[in-house]
Structure 1
């Protein structure tokens, strides 16, 4: 309830208010209020209930969900096809937009909640921004302690929150029972027929009712498909619908409540408790998206789109991780957004583009799943995709009109992160290609080298990023030190397109004779890359690997400019900077500190 539905659950704080009082104001009459509520309700039904809960959540990668997990799943079936690169780029851009969402969500959610202070006590308005910044700083500072203990508090609080907003909505509906008729789809149609331009522009704010829908899919691996579906259909959806209907009833009866229809639903005696509860719910929504950013980053690192980063495990649960670089970068970005935009209504313009852009991209990935992977009949798949594309295109188009009002923020963020991700991926491919050129096949090396150098006791493991050829560290070692260990192992770490790898398939070893071995260790894209743990129980020539008698040799490449660069010079420099700042392989692969030797080489790309 807390992790999955925190984001969409806090949408009532600002969705109705910003639809009518935002950048494209609407008249507060029955036509427009009923039309917007109808639009929000059917958007939740089509986008959340049908698209995500009923269809996309079927596309699990061994139980895991999210744009990158879906991309990895799709890539298994389209690799080598002419248009596969375009699909991969779309998946990467969806990930880039998710980071934009991760920056905007905490700022919008916490600010919307704390703005209740100014609603109930206007003299407190100047204190809103400092309080929001203070809460966010505290939130990011506690990330390193892990969320395992706090998470047990999330569910009960969110259940209480959904119960409260349901009751408040129901009490308001009872004042005007006819508002229930707003759920009929004909009211949304009537709005567009009577006022097409305003109706179209209003979609840019109405989409705020479904922000966080992608979280249902992204968090599927943590909780499973059935609990998420049950929670949405039995608790979250009814609560949201009742609250939006209650806000509609209130706005028709008291138009001046538009300042904050969410907070004015509460009777006077319950206003301050509601402020406290909504603020806690907003912090929970922020915590959920921060945790999501850590998980997405881990997946992106494993799949080769982001440089290695220091990952700290805060719990025995593999999902509980903390990435310092991401945490502090998010904190700086979120606080800057709060200080620059100052009001949640200014930030919601930026919010919609990130969400609708990611939803639109999910449609393309879903189309590949329906036709290539699941092989659905086109008579069934095409109408469904047409519905999803039409609705998401309408929402995305309406949000693009808000680019001058702040919509440029997630686009700039997304393009910047997209450039980083694609530069790293392309640079790694070029570097591997360069290093593979002219290398000696390992079989030939093993036959010729065993008697050409003095053999010393112990095991030497040479880490290699490719399966073919001899690692440069091994060549440098034999050239400069003129020794070979008793057992020489060339080890390659392979990250699979699945979340977890079975232990039986973890390690494979090939013996080339004379003490030379090739080893492959496989990890899933959600697993901790702990090499010493993977080597437990592995034997070479009948002997187990003793860490105290094993040395790990790593290659450290220094990039130099090429006369025929594979990328633009500025991207080569960016890639070189990312390489210099990446976490060391020793730290990332959990290698014992006193057993590692690094040997450098220069590489042109």
Structure 2
């Protein structure tokens, strides 16, 4: 039992900490190349910035404060949005602000997810440069990185069940490696330990005010991936994540200190941008250099895999919450029902990752663009938490966030603005597109809902009984998808009364996605008002992270549908935003396709709508 609990507490190492855990590959290296040309001793301030950002943002803001805000243990940008909205029900203006902030935070997370695999894989592949001078070839590094990316995305449809058990052990080895390589160089130059003193940050500001914000923007790369601690609470648990984070924290702090010590002792040898981590290994234990590069590649692949899986989960979540169109998904694990694969997202991510690698060409150039969207997400989480704790009357947390953490986050955000000119516009532009599509889709759904002429059930049942008593019936069971039993969809009226398609048994099926992440319940209800004894109602209530298997539910209810009807709207419009909305609906799978009904049993009834 203890062994099982211990492994559970370590499991987040292979899932949550890939991004933040591979940041040492490039974070200090980017500072070093700038400070070497100025005053190498200022690296003490750079290391101090990294240490204090990790302490304040990761430990204080997320682990100790934000992770207290959850819905049934779930966290993340969409969760904190729903959580805060539930607290401010009577403040319509604040609800709009919170809703928009939450949606943009979600968009920023997705956009930064494009650069994470690109910078991770590129930075690890660049380690081959120090193996042999012939490998110091940008084209070769780009080609290897693209090959690894294609391989990684191509295996997604098969699932990662067969190899995922290796993720945690590999990441344990990775963090042990970071710890020991750091300890070796701290031992050689123990004075680096004094960099924990924030006075060095002030000295950095005085010594090089012009580049101070630039150094902060690179220090911020040490906390990319922090949102994963919050977002992965649901399926891993808060306690295991915090337990694992304590181990990761020690490993990262020691390694960053070790890199600072190595730089101060060897800055004269550094002539071009290279990862200090790789230089440390090459200098200390050259015989282990190739295994270290392989380990780094494995760690970055695991970090990228975690991001890809997170993207699948996020987009399934947005489909269920009706924020974006439904996307076709497939189960990839017989033992883990929430492990899914979404082909469209997979190949879109692959294209964008390859484009990022070709566009930026090196991890150094990606790093110049990386972090802005993450920083926006951190600021939004901070603002959301402030609102939540004020409403919860936890004024201590609210004051810490307002007086300390929000100012720190805003300074870091300002420091990152220069990245807009150096490629940061790419993820920011992607975030704007995603945010715009969410707004277009949600507003389009509202307009479509208002344009449809629903019939009250009380009116419907009267006409239905008259028709049922006079018309011939088709043998079998027909299922009609609808939103609410009280209001009958126009396509059902058209099917039964206009087309005279009437089955012996007719079931109205409603699926309600709740604001809670998990739990699924359903019941088959006989409608008392129905004198024909031919209509019944199935209502399914499911959390937005639940995978709904309608075929399985029908089996459990002992129902074998002959046919399943669903409504489709053909939207006609002259407005650009509604044309985009119409296109989004056309390319998304239908509700029956989304829930994996056999196609030969489904019929879509089309209605022309003018918006």
Secondary structure, in 3 states, of the residue corresponding to 2:454? coil
Query: Deviation at 1:214?
Result: 0.6
Deviation larger for 449-458 or 413-422: 449-458
Kindly state the Cα deviation for residue 45 of structure 1 after the two structures are TM-superposed. Answer: 0.7
Q: 1:419 to 1:466 in 2, by over 3 A?
A: farther
Q: List aligned pairs for 1:203-602, cutoff 5 A.
A: 203-233=216-246, 235-255=247-267, 256-257=269-270, 259-266=274-281, 267=284, 268-315=286-333, 316-372=335-391, 374-377=392-395, 379-435=396-452, 438-453=453-468, 454=471, 456=473, 457-503=475-521, 510-514=527-531, 515-538=534-557, 544-547=558-561, 550-561=562-573, 569-602=575-608
Which secondary structure does the structure 2 equivalent of 1:64 belong to?
coil
1:485 deviation in Å? 2.6
Q: Is the Cα–Cα contact under 8 Å of residues 222 and 319 in structure 1 kept in the other structure?
A: no
* Runs of at least 5 residues in structure 2 that lack an aligned partner in the other structure: 1-12
| 1: CA distance, partners of 2:37 / 2:349 | 34
Q: TM-score, normalised by structure 2?
A: 0.92
Deviates more, 1:325-334 or 1:494-503: 494-503
Aligned to 1:65: 75
| Alpha-carbon spacing, 1:412–1:331, altered in 2? closer, same or farther (3 Å) | same
Of stretches 275-284 and 383-392 in structure 1, the one that deviates more from structure 2 is 383-392
Deviations 1:181-239 (A, max 9, x none): 11122222332244333222211111001111111111111211111101111x21111
Residue 54 of structure 2 contacts residue 223 of structure 2 at CA under 8 Å; is this kept in 1? yes
How far apart, in 2, do the equivalents of 1:509 and 1:347 lie? Answer: 60
Q: What CA deviation, in whole Å up to 9, does each residue of 1:354-404 have, x standing for no partner?
A: 1101111111221232122x3313x54223333221111111111111211
* Equivalent-residue separation in structure 2 for 1:167 and 1:25 (angstroms): 25
Between 405-414 and 514-523, the greater mean CA deviation after superposition: 514-523
The CA deviation at 1:68 is 1.3
2:214 corresponds to: 201
Q: Normalized against structure 1, the TM-score is what?
A: 0.93
- What is the Cα deviation at residue 335 of structure 1? 0.2
Any conservation in 2 of the 1:462–1:471 contact (CA below 8 Å)? no
In 1, are the aligned partners of 2:526 and 2:536 still within 8 Å (CA)? yes
Distance 1:574 1:79, change over 3 A: farther
Report the equivalent of 1:541: none
Change (3 A) 1:260 1:28: farther
Structure 1 spans left out of the alignment, 5+ residues = 539-543, 563-568
The answer as to whether partners of 1:490 and 1:517 remain within 8 angstroms in 2 is yes
Q: Which moved more, 1:506-515 or 1:333-342?
A: 506-515
Show the counterpart of 1:94: 105
Q: Distance in 1 between matches of 2:441 and 2:357?
A: 30
Q: C-alpha deviations, 1:43-62, integer Å up to 9, x for none?
A: 10111111111111121211
1:115 is paired with a residue whose SS is helix
Alpha carbons of 1:358 and 1:434: their partners in 2 closer, same or farther (altered >3 Å)?
A: same
Q: Pick which of 147-156 and 488-497 moved more.
A: 488-497
2: CA distance between counterparts of 1:507 and 1:527? 20
